[in-house]
Structure 1
C-alpha cells in the first residue's frame, strides 16, 4: 500500500505543479486525508440510509429465525463460553488486551506507535457507535437477556468495537515479520474471537442478528480508514520533500 500511495502522491504533485506555480509539499497528503474522511462520512451516511431496511418484514423474519436458532441451542457450556467472550468485548476485556499490546509493542517490537494506533481505532469505533445508536434509536430484542444492557440496540457496540479493534490487530499481525505459522494462527484466533463476540450478543438475547452485521460493517469502515490514514502518515514521515 505504501508504494501505491507514493505513486498516487507523485501524481497529485505533478497535477499541482501544472495548476500552480508554487504550492506546499504537504498539500497532496492533506488532499488524501480529506478524501478519506469524505469517503468515511459518505460510507457512514450510506450505512444510516440502509438502516431503513430494519423496518422491513423480510429482515424481521431473518432476525427472528437466526435468533431462534441460537436461543434453541442454549446450554450451560455454551452459555459460559459466550458470557466469557462477550466480557472480552467489554471495557475490561479491552483494557487487558491493551495491556498485552503495550507489553508486546514495547518489549518485542519496541514501537509505541502500535499502541496509539489500536487505541485510536477503538476510540473512533466507540464514539461513532454511540452516535449511530442515538441516530437510529432501535430498541433491544424483547426476549430474555442473559446479561444486563442499558444502551440502544443498533448497531451492536460489541460487534463494532470487536471488528475495529481486533480487525486492526489482524492487519498489524499481517505486517509483522514473524513465523508464518504463528502469524496464521494469530489471525485465525482473532477472526474466531470477532465472530464469537458477535454471535454471543445474539445468543445472550441482547441483539438482533442485523445489529451484529451492522456493527461488523461499521467497524470495518474504521479499520480501512485507519489503515489508510496510518500509511499516509508513514509515507509523509519518510518523504524527503516535506
Structure 2
C-alpha cells in the first residue's frame, strides 16, 4: 500500500506547490488523513442509513430464519465449543492473545509495533461499538440465552472486535516474510476464528444474524482506516523532505 500512498502524496505536493506560494511539507499528509477520516465517516454514515432502511423491511424475516437454522444444531459438544469461541472474542480472550502476540513479537520478530497497532485498532472498534449500540438501541433476541449478556444488541461487539482485531492481524501476516504455506494456514485459521466468534453469538441466542453482519462491516471499516493511517505514518517518517 505504501507505493500508491506515496504516489498520491506526491501528486498532492505537486498540486500545492503549483497553486500556492507558501508550502508546508506536512500539509499533504494532513490532507490525506482528513480525506481518510471523511471516507470513514462517510462509510459509517452509509452503514447507518442502510441499516435503518433494512431494519423494518428485510432483516426481521432473515434474522428469524437464520437464527432458527443455527440453533437447530444445538448439542452439548457444540455448545461447549461456541462458549469457548465467544470467550476468545471477549476481554480476557484478547488479553491472552495480546500477551502471546507480545511474547512472539519480542522474541521472534523483535518488533512491538504490530502488537501496539493491533491493540489500537481493537480499542477504536470497542469504543465506537458502544456508541453505535446506544444509537441503534436494539434489544437482544427474546430466545433462550446460553450465556449472560448486559449490553444492547446492534451491532455485535464480539463480531466487530473480532473483525477489527483478527482482521488487522491477517493484514500483518500478509506482510510477514515467512513460509508461504505457514502464512496461508495462519490466515485461514484467523478467518475461521472470526467466523466462529460471530456464529457463536447467534448459536448462544444473544444476537441476531444482522447484529453479526453489522459488526463485521463496522469492524472492517476500522481495519481499512487504520491500515491507511499506519502506512501513511510510515511513509511520512521515511520522507526525507519532512
Uncovered stretches (5+) of structure 2, i.e. residues with no partner: none
Whether 1:17 and 2:20 are equivalent positions in the alignment is no
Give the whole-Å Cα distance in 1 for the aligned partners of 2:144 and 2:14: 61
In the alignment, what sits opposite 2:173? 173
Give the whole-Å Cα distance in 2 for the aligned partners of 1:227 and 1:104: 21
Deviating more after overlay: 121-130 vs 102-111: 102-111
1:1-242 to structure 2, matched below 5 A, reads 1-242=1-242
Shift of residue 57, structure 1, vs aligned partner: 4.1
Deviating more after overlay: 54-63 vs 11-20: 54-63
Deviating more after overlay: 98-107 vs 214-223: 98-107
Give the whole-Å Cα distance in 2 for the aligned partners of 1:59 and 1:120: 32
2:171 aligns to what SS in structure 1?
Answer: helix
- Tell me, yes or no, if the aligned pair for 1:141 and 1:207 is still in contact at 8 Å: yes
Give the whole-Å Cα distance in 2 for the aligned partners of 1:50 and 1:109: 42
Give the whole-Å Cα distance in 2 for the aligned partners of 1:13 and 1:58: 47
Give the whole-Å Cα distance in 1 for the aligned partners of 2:184 and 2:207: 31
Give the whole-Å Cα distance in 2 for the aligned partners of 1:30 and 1:104: 34
Give the whole-Å Cα distance in 1 for the aligned partners of 2:135 and 2:54: 13
The count of aligned residue pairs is 242
Q: With the length of structure 2 as denominator, give the TM-score of the two structures.
A: 0.98
Shift of residue 54, structure 1, vs aligned partner: 4.8
Q: 1:95 to 1:101 in 2, by over 3 A?
A: same
Deviating more after overlay: 14-23 vs 91-100: 14-23
1:141 aligns to what SS in structure 2?
Answer: coil
Give the whole-Å Cα distance in 1 for the aligned partners of 2:8 and 2:43: 22
- Tell me, yes or no, if the aligned pair for 1:53 and 1:59 is still in contact at 8 Å: no
Q: Which runs of 4+ in 1 moved over 2 A?
A: 53-58
Per-residue CA deviations over 1:165-199 (Å, capped at 9, x if unaligned) read 00000000000000000000000000000000000
Give the whole-Å Cα distance in 2 for the aligned partners of 1:46 and 1:8: 25
